[in-house]
Structure 1
Amino acid sequence: MIRSDETPAEPFVAWAQQREAARLGMWLFLATEAMMFGSLILVAWFYQLQHPDGVAQAVAVLHWQLAAANTFMLLTSSLLMTLALAARTPRYARRLRRCLLGATLSGVLFLMCKGVEYGLEYREGLLPGFAVDSPLPLPSARLFMNLYFIATALHAVHVLVAVGLGLWLYLRLAPDTLLTRGTRTRLEMVTLYWHLVDGIWILLFPTLYLAGR
Structure 2
Amino acid sequence: MSTESAMLAQQFDDAAQQREASALGMWTFLATEALFFGVLFAGYTVCRVRFPAAFAAGSRHTDMLLGTIETAVLLTSSCAVALALRDVQLGGRRVAAWLLVLTAALGLSFLVMHGFEYYSEYREGLIPGIRYTQQGPLAGPMQLFFCLYYFITGFHSLHVGIGVILLLVMARRTWRARFSAQYYTPLELSALYWHLVDIVWIFVYPLIYLVGRAG
User: Considering the TM-score relative to the shorter chain, is it more than 0.5?
Assistant: yes
Q: Which residue of 1 aligns with 2:54?
A: 54
Seen in structure 2, the aligned counterparts of structure 1 residues 93 and 54 have a Cα distance that, compared at 3 Å, is same
Letter in 2 for 1:202: I
The separation in 1 between residues aligned to 2:177 and 2:64, in whole angstroms, is 45
Letter in 2 for 1:75: L
Q: Which residue of 2 aligns with 1:160?
A: 161
Q: Which residue of 2 aligns with 1:140?
A: 141
Please tell me whether the aligned partners of residues 111 and 159 of structure 1 are also in contact (alpha carbons under 8 angstroms): yes
- Deviates further, 85-94 or 35-44: 85-94
Please tell me whether the aligned partners of residues 85 and 187 of structure 1 are also in contact (alpha carbons under 8 angstroms): yes
The separation in 1 between residues aligned to 2:168 and 2:177, in whole angstroms, is 19
The separation in 1 between residues aligned to 2:28 and 2:11, in whole angstroms, is 20
Q: How far does the alpha carbon of each residue in 1:91-143 deviate from its partner, in whole angstroms, 9 at most, with x for none?
A: 53221112111101100100000000001001111022221533565211111
The separation in 1 between residues aligned to 2:136 and 2:41, in whole angstroms, is 22
How much has 1:180 moved relative to structure 2? 7.1
The separation in 1 between residues aligned to 2:176 and 2:132, in whole angstroms, is 56
Seen in structure 2, the aligned counterparts of structure 1 residues 193 and 5 have a Cα distance that, compared at 3 Å, is farther
The separation in 2 between residues aligned to 1:132 and 1:14, in whole angstroms, is 58
TM-score (norm 2): 0.91
SS in 1 for 2:131: coil
Please tell me whether the aligned partners of residues 127 and 145 of structure 1 are also in contact (alpha carbons under 8 angstroms): yes
TM-score (norm 1): 0.92
Q: Which residue of 2 aligns with 1:40?
A: 40
Measured on the aligned residues, the alpha-carbon RMSD in Å equals: 1.8
Q: Which residue of 2 aligns with 1:128?
A: 128
The separation in 2 between residues aligned to 1:140 and 1:166, in whole angstroms, is 39
Q: Which residue of 2 aligns with 1:31?
A: 31
1:13 aligns with 2:13: yes
1:104 aligns with 2:116: no
How much has 1:177 moved relative to structure 2? 2.9
The separation in 2 between residues aligned to 1:41 and 1:56, in whole angstroms, is 16
How much has 1:89 moved relative to structure 2? 4.9
Q: How does 1:73-112 map to 2 (within 5 A)?
A: 73-89=73-89, 91-112=91-112
Seen in structure 2, the aligned counterparts of structure 1 residues 110 and 142 have a Cα distance that, compared at 3 Å, is same
Please tell me whether the aligned partners of residues 5 and 180 of structure 1 are also in contact (alpha carbons under 8 angstroms): no
Q: Which residue of 1 aligns with 2:196?
A: 196
Structure 1 residues without counterparts, runs of 5 or longer: none
- Deviates further, 90-99 or 113-122: 90-99
The separation in 2 between residues aligned to 1:189 and 1:146, in whole angstroms, is 32
Q: Which residue of 1 aligns with 2:64?
A: 64
The separation in 1 between residues aligned to 2:90 and 2:69, in whole angstroms, is 34
Percent identical = 38
SS in 2 for 1:173: helix
The runs of at least 4 consecutive aligned structure 1 residues that moved more than 4 Å come to: none
